[in-house]
Amino acid sequence: MSGNTITRAQLSEAVYEEVGLSRNESANLVEAVLDEMAKSLIDGETVKISSFGSFAIRHKSQRMGRNPKTGEEVPILPRRVIIFKPSHVLKNRVNLKGDS
């Protein structure tokens, strides 16, 4: 458990090494992957990536919340949130500790 943070730069570098496109094009394509996923989700569509997981939209209705600092009641407006459901493959892989 190292606790590093991976960003777009490392993803692009991995793509650059695996696919053999230029660094610039690799970075643009990583961005395109994220853009396409975001676009589908904004359209309300579920995004299913086999052996990774699925991203779905859930509609939340309005509820009363409280400003924790002032104690004042404020309505939390209806909104859409993304639910990520990891696949079994991903769940298993984050629990591998040398076995299987």
Task: Name the residues that contact another protein, by CB under 8 A.
Answer: 1-8, 10-11, 14-15, 18-21, 26, 29-30, 32-34, 36-38, 40-42, 45-53, 55, 57, 79-82, 84, 86, 90-91, 93-96
For residues 17 and 71, which CB has a smaller minimum distance to another protein in the complex? Answer: 17
* Closest CB 74 distance from another protein, rounded Å: 16
Count CA atoms within 13 Å of residue 85 on its CB side.
9
Cβ 71 to another protein shortest distance, Å: 25
- When the beta carbons of 17 and 70 are compared against another protein, the nearer one is 17
Give the C-alpha separation, 47 to 29, whole Å.
18
Report the nearest approach of another protein to the CB of residue 80 (Å): 5
Q: Could you tell me if 55 and 46 are in contact, meaning their C-beta atoms sit under 8 angstroms apart?
A: yes
At 4, is the secondary structure helix, strand, or coil?
A: coil
* Contact call for residues 84 and 53 (beta carbons, < 8 A): yes
Nearer to another protein, 74 or 82 (CB): 82
**DSSP SS3 for 34:** helix
